[in-house]
Amino acid sequence: MSILITGAAGFIGYHLSKRLIKDGFEVIGFDNLNSYYDKKLKQDRIHNLKKIANEEEGIFEFEKGDIVNSNQLKDIFKFKKNSFSKIKIVIHLAAQAGVRYSIENPKAYIESNLVGFFNLIEECKINKIDHLIYASSSSVYGGNIKLPFLESDNVDHPISLYAATKKSNELIAHSYSHLFNLPTTGLRFFTVYGPWGRPDMALFKFTDLIVKNKPISVFNYGKMKRDFTFIDDVIESIFLLIKKPPVISNNINSTNTKAPYFIFNIGNSKPIDLMQYINAIESILGKKANIKFKQMQPGDVESTFANTDALNNWINFKPSTPINLGVKKFIDWYLEYYK
């Protein structure tokens, strides 16, 4: 079957595309290759995917385009290159990412995360897609203080525009699931990290700055906890969910709806103190960080912690990669990639 992956040049999109190519799926990658961070990293991901497809005799095609452009999306759903079969599964990972950047450039989030999401789900409806899986975010929990976070928790109080757009995606998806019987699965990702990661994320920034003997900024004076989730666990979760679209039931997870609509937390369920995370980086690099402690940033939260019982009940899998192993795999990649 053909699977469309939007955001295929992104961090999660790259790893998912690689897994699906190796498993024999026809993969169509779609990405606008924007300049939110280093375009070379995105281009190298796509180059690597084409190389993997060639070596594995897999099927991968990449098309540059923007989900905000509805005509480009219409064309991709009619994709017939190399006799691709009809797209049956859509995994929507394209979005304007980043909590802090949403304060600086809110328009980018409205265009990509709202207009773009609408364009995409409308095409899924028109083309009678079997299953739409899309990226939400742990940021939808906002300032919630009850831990761990459950999918059934109230998420009506976002503290960043980024979070508000992700919550909006979930609401739009539910309306389409209810009205048009479109199976949708939303994934609330919790601080995903690993090789080929995003340069704006903590692990990448800390590693890069420590290697270059530059100071790192640690906010809220280090009093932060994050449910860091290794990329391989995220990919395994998505891979298993592809094969299990939502069914109409009130007993599967905590979304409590009669629509074919699921929401799942994708997290490691083991929050780590930020200073412990930094210590792991220092230990693997064999270098001490020059730390500049600062106050909390707008839009940030002190702690995240995912309850993943619903995910485990549905696919019999939950993320569990230990932090030291995950950080080492990232640093090994970083040192090799940047020589």
Per-residue pLDDT of 214-243, as tens digits, reads 999 999 999 999 999 999 999 999 999 999
Q: Encode pLDDT of 284-293 as tens digits.
A: 999 999 999 9
In a domain, 325, yes or no: no
Q: What one-letter code names the amino acid at 301? A: V
In a domain, 152, yes or no: yes
What is the per-residue DSSP string for 27-89?
EEEEE---SSS-HHHHHHHHHHHHHHHHHTT-EEEEEE--TT-HHHHHHHHT--GGGPPPEEE
Low-confidence ranges of the chain (pLDDT < 50): none
Structural domains counted in the chain: 1
CATH number at residue 22: 3.40.50.720
pTM of the model: 0.95
**Positions marked catalytic:** 162
What's the pLDDT at 75? 93
Tell me if residue 234 falls in helix, strand or coil.
Answer: helix
Count CA atoms closer than 13 A to 270's CA, side-chain side: 12
Distance CA 41, CA 294 (A): 29
In a domain, 249, yes or no: yes
Q: Encode pLDDT of 97-134 as tens digits.
A: 877 778 888 998 999 999 999 999 999 999 999 999 99
In a domain, 206, yes or no: no
In a domain, 282, yes or no: no
CA 184 → CA 33, 124, 209, distances in Å?
26, 10, 40
